[in-house]
Amino acid sequence: MDYGHSERPAGARVLPTALKVLVAGGFGAGKTTLVGAVSESRPLRTEEVLTETGIGVDDLSGVERKSTTTVAMDFGRITISNDLVLYVFGTPGQDRFWFLWDELAVGALGAVVLADTRRLADCFPSIDYFEGRGTPFVVAVNCFEGARRFGVDEIRAALDLDPEVPLLLCDARQRESGRNVLITLLEHAMKTREARRRAAGG
Ligand SMILES: Nc1nc2c(ncn2[C@@H]2O[C@H](COP(=O)(O)OP(=O)(O)OP(=O)(O)O)[C@@H](O)[C@H]2O)c(=O)[nH]1
Ligand SMILES: [Mg+2]
């Protein structure tokens, strides 16, 4: 196949653009659940069983029924349109796996920070991380049943979010809900890029 000339043969399949996004947030916020729900192929998971060794290390308050945790990453893919595919990487939630974040964040267009209102402060480190790197992000509040419902304004104030950062409610178990979060992130990341380009006079 010689594609050295500028004309692509008629009928040639255009490969979709692949973009990388991250799903971050505190321990047990539902990252693995969201990646699994949106993924079209069987998601790659790196779950390990939470064991007695983790007692005193892994904070299970609020997620007592949780039996496994992500130790490296989750990976899934989702087709947004004919010409756009997202590769979705879920980060490990626990502090002892922080060293992996810099690797996972390379080349990411943006990030979803999943928040659980029962442990809202757990997503602060993720927010600080992406703010520090200048990575566009949205905050998605995973609505666990039984958790007290807060209004988006209340949550936004509690998180001290910049006004341009989108905040939305979601159910990490529902494909459509997760997809909606990813599309909100894409739009936000594009808008941020455009604004930065204009500010740079480009
Ligand atoms: N009721 C309810 N349970 C959920 C929801 N999302 C996740 N879960 C459950 O909550 C637990 C934690 O979910 P995970 O997806 O493993 O959370 P995670 O953020 O990947 O956790 P780490 O990788 O350990 O940080 C699991 O038992 C899920 O089944 C939700 O929206 N509603
Ligand atoms: Mg996980």
Nearest CA to ligand 1 atom 30: 144
66 lines ligand 1 (CB under 6 A): yes
**50, 69 contact by CB (below 8 A):** yes
Name the E strands within 10-162: 17-25, 47-49, 68-70, 74-81, 84-90, 110-115, 137-142
Q: What pLDDT score does 95 carry?
A: 81
Q: What pLDDT score does 3 carry?
A: 47
Question: 73 CA to middle of ligand 1, Å?
Answer: 14
101 lines ligand 1 (CB under 6 A): no
Question: 31 CA to middle of ligand 1, Å?
Answer: 7
Q: What pLDDT score does 149 carry?
A: 82
Distance of CA 167 to the CA centre of its chain: 13
Atom of ligand 1 nearest to the CA of 90: 20
CB atoms within 10 A of CB 176: 11
Q: What pLDDT score does 69 carry?
A: 92
Q: What pLDDT score does 10 carry?
A: 67
136 lines ligand 1 (CB under 6 A): no
Which ligand does the CA of 69 lie closest to? 1
Which ligand does the CA of 25 lie closest to? 1
Mean pLDDT (10-residue bins), the chain, 202 residues = 57 82 96 97 90 68 82 94 95 87 94 95 95 96 87 94 96 97 97 94 80
Atom of ligand 1 nearest to the CA of 35: 15
**Length of the chain, please?**
202
Query: For residue 129, with 0-12 CB atoms within 10 Å meaning exposed, 13-18 middle and 19 or more buried, which class applies?
Result: buried
